[in-house]
A and B are shown apart, each in its own frame.
Chain A
Amino acid sequence: MNESVQLTQNGTHMSDQPKNTTPSSLSDVAAKRAETKIAGTQPLGTGLEARGVHAWFDKHHALEDVSLDFSAGTVTALIGPSGCGKSTFIRTLNRMHEFIPHTSMAGQVLLDGKDIYEPGIDVTKIRLQIGMVFQKPNPFPSMTIGENVLSGLKLAQLKVDNQEDLLEECLTRAGLWTEVKDRLGAHAGGLSGGQQQRLCIARALAVKPKVLLMDEPCSALDPGSTLRIEETISQLSKSMTIVIVTHNMQQAARVSDYTAFFLSDGGPGQMIEVGPTNEIFSRPRDERTENYVTGRFG
């Protein structure tokens, strides 16, 4: 599946360089990140909370009983081998899971204390508050760079007084403004993969979500673009809650405050352990987590 693509494209993947990513260096990275981060963290609402989430594809039980708290203003990384349910889980958090035919789920996902799966709730309003960035950059091909960023306004039918300001703000926050400010009218397909992905981040920001879900946002990108996006994530984490699925443990250590480890032992995927990122990488409680972060399997 996609994972094999990722192995070849992502030079910093664990299994490519097991010797460089010793647990101590990962935990060093995470510890450094933790030091710098705490100063900037500020409370922003009550965040997102998953309670006992299960997910099925038809009869296949893909995810079993995951409960996770995402405090407002934090970055949480979801790690784990392929097929462990990370992506399925992240898609239940903004109700994208239900777009795949014959799926079902159980459990609750609370945004600011309210269940987003409550009957009668307006799903479009939920997705407006919980934005998403996908694995493959997917700018709208029929629109220019500027139109792409502002497309959410049209799609979600929002009114904004000053579109130009919003355009500049979103592109600046996504770290793309200086590169594209002179060609906002050009078509988005002409951008490089990394620029396209940052454009997609800018597009997701334009509707002012409280939470941003990122499903392996860097897996198709080169190291330089990956670095830019990680900088972008660090910037964004000051003002929003971010959940990022990644196969790159260096990345998890660099950008996240908390890390959750998912694993499937052949049955449904489960969350094995969650904790502050530097603890997960320096002294994980579960042996399976330790085996994974030290590169002994996965």
Chain B
Amino acid sequence: MPTSTVQKMRPWAASPKDRALTGLSVLLSVLTAILIVAVTPMKGKLAYFALFFLAWFVIDSLFVVRKQGSKGVRDGLAAKVTLFGAVIVSMAVFSILWATISKGVKGLNLAFVTENMREASLFDPIGKGGILHAILGTLMLIAIAIIFSVPMGILTALYLTEIKGRAVGLIQFLVQAMSGVPSVVAGLFIYAAIILNTPLRSSGFLGGLALTILMVPTVTRTAQEVLNLVPRDLREAGLAMGATQWKTVALVVVPAARSGLITATILGVARIAGETAPLLFTVGVFDSYNFNPFKGDQGTIPTVVWRGLMGGTPESVQRAWSAILVLLIVVLIMFVLARSFGSKSPKK
């Protein structure tokens, strides 16, 4: 069989002529935008961007209307509006990333991630001292918050999805209200409830508790959503074999939702990793290692950033940017680890 004579075709793809027209309309729009900026008082990147899209809406519609009529124009407009939104959002994300990387990378060196600040001050030249103490402190706080909030969040979600007791409405309401709590309030709560009323003073443990208050609602709501996705069939299959509800949940429902529950944890960590305000009341600031989570102030990356920016000198601000970059990298590494750990379970 001479199968090689059959040509692969994509009749639905844009023809060269279509592409030329699209290119032409984009080119015309760019030129229009440049022209308008040149002859009017409007200035700046944002002006180019907005004018380009406006011009493109008009010019491309003129091209489309001949071929596809008003329906095609509306379709094209809808597509462009969504593209416009997507571009704006990604510009925001990428400019944050770019600012962090471009400014932070200048202050990065080996000492920055392997030393502490006991012998150095924020105002010393870059290269002296580092923020390892703050990296370890942040990791410790995240670990404490995970230890408390993941079991609490998942158990609450199980109550909401599996037990469905009388308090479902109330708990649902409280969880939603809690996820709107400003982070500074969480810190103040721990400060007012524990530090003012007990002999306990600021420590990593109390900071972890403050972060737990912020993390629990995120974990609960996400866990609830993924548990609701587990088909009722699976629960019934477990129960139909003479299992108790507890056994069905532990052996069937939770394993089936495993990767989603890991996602819930990741989202919770993302919520708290950069929190600064609650830590100021509960953990304080510290320039060296403190491996005791129950006693003494603790260095954390967000407070290093905060102090660096407050410092105001080029060196201290540089340290702040580099610390932000380190925080991004630390969180990224945690996510990748959690994802690869989660994907060991079967996908389908």
Contact = CB atoms under 8 A, between A and B. Distances in A.
Contacts of B68: none
Given A138-B234, A140-B234, A154-B251, A131 B240 contact: yes
Contact of A204 (B233, B240, B243): B240
A136 interface: yes
B240 A132 contact: yes
A138 B248 CA distance: 14
Given A134-B233, A138-B234, A142-B346, A156 B242 contact: yes
Interface stretch (A56-64, A111-119, A122-130, A280-288): A122-130
Interface stretch (B153-161, B252-260, B292-300): B252-260
A128 B346 contact: no
A138 B256 contact: no
Contact of B239 (A127, A141, A157, A207): A127
Given A138-B234, A155-B252, A124 B244 contact: yes
Nearest to A101: B164
A203 B238 CA distance: 10
A153 to B, nearest CB: 9
A155 B236 contact: no
A154 B237 contact: no
B247 interface: yes
A134 B234 CA distance: 10
Nearest to B237: A138
Interface in B211-254: 231, 233-244, 247-248, 251-252
A128 B231 contact: no
Choose among B244, B248, B258, B346 the residue with the greatest number of A CB atoms under 10 Å from its CB.
B346
B40 to A, nearest CB: 60
B181 to A, nearest CB: 32
A101 B17 CA distance: 61
A189 B345 CA distance: 12
Nearest to A200: B237
Q: Size class of B's contact patch? A: 20 to 34
Contacts of B255: 140, 142-143
B67 interface: no
B207 to A, nearest CB: 35
A173 interface: no
Contacts of A129: 242
Contact of B247 (A94, A128, A154): A154
Contacts of A151: 238, 241, 251-252
A121 interface: no
A251 B231 CA distance: 28
B348 A140 contact: no
A141 B346 contact: yes
3 smallest A-B Cβ distances: which pairs?
A128-B242, A155-B243, A142-B255
Given A131-B240, A142-B345, A204-B240, 16 more contacts: A124-B243, A127-B239, A127-B241, A131-B241, A138-B233, A140-B255, A141-B234, A142-B252, A143-B255, A152-B241, A155-B252, A187-B346, A189-B348, A200-B237, A203-B237, A203-B241
19 contacts: A96-B240, A99-B235, A124-B243, A124-B244, A125-B242, A127-B240, A131-B240, A131-B241, A132-B237, A134-B237, A138-B234, A140-B234, A140-B255, A140-B256, A142-B256, A142-B345, A142-B346, A155-B248, A203-B237
